[in-house]
A and B are shown apart, each in its own frame.
Chain A
Amino acid sequence: MLQLSHVGKRYPSGYEALKAVSFTLAAGEMVFLTGHSGAGKSTLLRLIALIERPTRGQLIVAGRNLQRFPARHIPRYRRDLGVVFQDNRLLFDRTVYDNVALPLLVTGAPPAEIPKRVRAALDKVGLLEKERLSPVVLSGGEQQRVGIARAIVHRPTILLADEPTGNLDPDLSLEILKLFLDFHDHGTTVLIATHDMNLLRVAKKRVLQLDHGELILDTGARA
């Protein structure tokens, strides 16, 4: 599903965020990406979401080489991804429902199907009764769950999460983790960047550790 070989990212300032990182991810696998802050976790996710391009190496996602990926195909590519952000990036001038519906509107899903899928996604994260509210009035954990609902509403093949529990207390973090484990059980490839050791301990999944842009640990797939 995901193949990286000697992927590097050097910014125009000269700062090298990633140095020759190589690993592969099988379809349906769940992986934690960890490391100190500034180790390159976010950069790696940004490369996979094609927000940025690698400066060297080869990055192949679902059979697509992102090195020379034409810009006009990027939107279509991103529809295969679901991305959860640490700051959730919700639109506060819209209701919870409208936030979650956005990926479906963008792809032109049939209008009759949108309410069903939005409610299914909200039901999964336990926020069905809050669909008419503005995200502003929700708690941090609830906002993050809306962000997750938005990331999975279009049934992506790969789910990327950048510090999804970064702003949450331990109990809420485990709740969010349960959601990701559930998606993984349903066959979604999940890649979570986090420095929350508690999550790694509870999930018992494969861990990749980055340090100053280099991959220093790969536990390999675990049951």
Chain B
Amino acid sequence: MIVWARHHRQALAAAIASLLRTPLASLMTVAVIGITLALPTGLHVVLDNLSHLTGGWTREAGEISVFLKPGTSTASAEKLAERLRRESDIAAVQHVTPDQALREFRARPGFGESLKALDTNPLPHLLVVRPVTSLSAESLDPLRQRLAKESAVDQAVLDLAWVQRLQNWLELAGRFAAMLALLLALGVLLIVSNTIRLAVANRRDEIAVTKLVGGTNAYIRRPFLYGGALQGLLGGLLAWLLTLGALWALAGPIGELTRLYQSDFAAHGLPARELLILVGGGTLLGWLGAFIASSVHLSAIEPT
């Protein structure tokens, strides 16, 4: 156990020493890994923010139009509106009478002429129900169904189609980002395994001599694994910094957009969870790349 810990300490020291021996080459590898990992991370941040933003929109667009049955009196419509106002998950109810609606329609160009042809007002009472903002997007439809079951109600309509379409697009983009992340992770794997392949080739003599004096394959491989993991770790850290830098550079324009949309939206940065995933994932990828490369290339060095 002590020997094992000692060997690991030696391997880590050897890996750090060999990274520092060729600082420029190590820096380049770390930079390539960092940029490769920063790409899907940046995309993830953009999509994450967009879905937060549209989440806000869902709430704003989440008004339910409740059309009452023709012939309902203004008094009973007002009574229903009053009752709905007292419900806990409804924030506000706006009552639009047929007369008001007709006036609104008349004011719109194009409608005025056609409405003149009608001798009676065909428009029903309309209650615009605004749910409380704490209500999730998923519970909007059950609320709509409940409203539709009211005896005086003809139809309750929730117009979320466009928001849903946007969210479908975002989901598609999210899938694309995940696929890109997978491909780029594979890229990192290849970068590291190529670096380690070169490192193994450069230290052929050392490896052969170590084998001859009784070094096990695990012993010989360990510094390479640490080297790969270390490069992955630094690459992950760099990716995090790059994404943070990009977010900082975009903070101005995002603020401008936010003002235009008058939303309380604030750009989400990279929380600790993402940092952990980037650094942990980078380390794992580096280790795996080194493992693959050293498995393939160490066995090719004589003696066995």
Contact = CB atoms under 8 A, between A and B. Distances in A.
Contacts of B213: 78-79, 83, 102-103, 106, 150, 154
Contact of A106 (B2, B208, B214): B214
Interface stretch (A24-32, A35-43, A68-76, A205-213): A68-76
Contacts of A50: 303
A49 B211 CA distance: 11
Given A106-B219, A108-B7, A51 B303 contact: yes
Nearest to A91: B206
A93 to B, nearest CB: 8
B210 A102 contact: yes
A103 B214 CA distance: 7
Given A102-B209, A102-B210, A111 B216 contact: no
Interface of A: 49-52, 71, 74-79, 81, 83, 89, 91, 93, 102-103, 105-108, 111, 150, 154
A71 B7 contact: no
B205 interface: yes
A93 B216 CA distance: 22
16 contacts: A51-B303, A52-B303, A74-B304, A75-B215, A75-B217, A76-B214, A77-B214, A78-B214, A79-B213, A79-B214, A83-B213, A93-B206, A106-B214, A108-B2, A108-B7, A154-B213
B60 interface: no
A81 B225 CA distance: 28
B118 interface: no
Given A75-B214, A108-B4, 8 more contacts: A50-B303, A79-B214, A89-B209, A93-B206, A102-B209, A106-B210, A106-B213, A108-B6
> In terms of DSSP, what is the predominant structure of the interface of chain B?
helix
Contacts of A150: 213
A71 B211 CA distance: 12
Contacts of B304: 71, 74
Interface string B83-97: 000000000000000
Contacts of B211: 75, 78
A49 B4 CA distance: 25
B304 to A, nearest CB: 6
A146 to B, nearest CB: 12
Contacts of B302: 51
Nearest to A108: B3
B263 interface: no
A50 B210 CA distance: 14
B295 to A, nearest CB: 15
Contacts of B7: 108
B10 interface: yes
B212 A83 contact: yes
A111 B6 CA distance: 9
Contacts of B206: 91, 93
A75 B205 contact: no
Nearest to B14: A105
A220 B258 CA distance: 97
A185 B205 CA distance: 32
Contact of B212 (A49, A71, A76): A49
A4 B209 CA distance: 26
A115 to B, nearest CB: 15
B216 A75 contact: yes
A92 B176 CA distance: 51
Given A71-B304, A91-B209, A105 B10 contact: yes
A42 to B, nearest CB: 13
A76 B217 CA distance: 11
Contacts of A75: 211, 214-217, 219
Contacts of B209: 89, 91, 102
Contacts of B10: 105
Contacts of A107: 214
Contacts of B214: 75-79, 81, 103, 106-107
